[in-house]
Amino acid sequence: MRIILIYLFRLIHYSSSMVKNSEKILADHNVSITNPRVFVLEVLLENKGPITLDELQSTLKNKVAKSTLYRVLNDLKKINILDEFTSPENQTVVELSLSENDHHHHVFCTNCGEVEDITLSEVFEKQLSDEITNIHKTSKYLIKEHTLELIGLCSDCD
């Protein structure tokens, strides 16, 4: 019985798509697969969206050394699958950006500090890209990227 349970546990554990995904992501980017990297990626994948550095650190407290966490985050930034930004309350926030075309923006709640992803309508993104074209004409700036952050109250705090 015990053997069976252990077997089942390992089966479930290793077939978890999280683990497979993490390792695949690293392999796909020619980054060696190590425990700290997999642990960090698992948390980022599970979380599905932006997460504060504080939360990431406390989640991984006893699994990954603090210096290693910073190193892993820098590794992920280097291969362009991690975005970092600062909340209006000056909290560092990170988020996986795995595919090229998952363009989106962020909403911050000024009361509870939550950050969420938000996708703007195609119509509006088109209007924004037109505006950026105009900016290029008038200001000579060549715009490559943009970030739009909305600040307000989430439904819980409203």
Partner DNA sequence: CAGTAAATGAGAATAATTCTCATTTATTTA
Partner DNA sequence: TAAATAAATGAGAATTATTCTCATTTACTG
Contact residues for a second copy, defined by CB under 8 A: 84-86, 90, 107, 109-110, 116, 118, 120-121, 124, 127-128, 130-132, 134-135, 139-155, 158
Cβ-Cβ contacts under 8 Å for 123 (sequence gap 6 or more): none
Are 149 and 105 contacting, i.e. CB atoms less than 8 angstroms apart?
Answer: yes
- Assess 72 for contact with DNA (CB under 7 A): yes
Residue listed under structure tokens 């991984």: 60
Q: Which does 65 bind (CB under 5 to 8 A by kind): DNA, a second copy, none?
A: DNA
In the three-class reduction of DSSP (H, G, I as helix; E, B as strand; rest coil), residue 65 is classed as coil
Structure tokens at 146: 């943009």
What's the closest the beta carbon of residue 85 comes to a second copy, in angstroms? Answer: 8
What's the closest the beta carbon of residue 97 comes to a second copy, in angstroms? Answer: 14
- Assess 34 for contact with DNA (CB under 7 A): yes
Query: Per DSSP, which regions of 2-66 are E strands?
Result: 51-52
Rg (CA), the chain: 19
- Assess 58 for contact with DNA (CB under 7 A): no
Q: Which does 19 bind (CB under 5 to 8 A by kind): DNA, a second copy, none?
A: none
Closer residue to DNA (CB): 53 or 132? 53
What's the closest the beta carbon of residue 43 comes to DNA, in angstroms? Answer: 14
Cβ-Cβ contacts under 8 Å for 48 (sequence gap 6 or more): none
Structure tokens at 30: 């020619």
Chain residues in the site for DNA (CB under 7 A): 31-37, 53-54, 63-68, 70-72, 74-75, 92
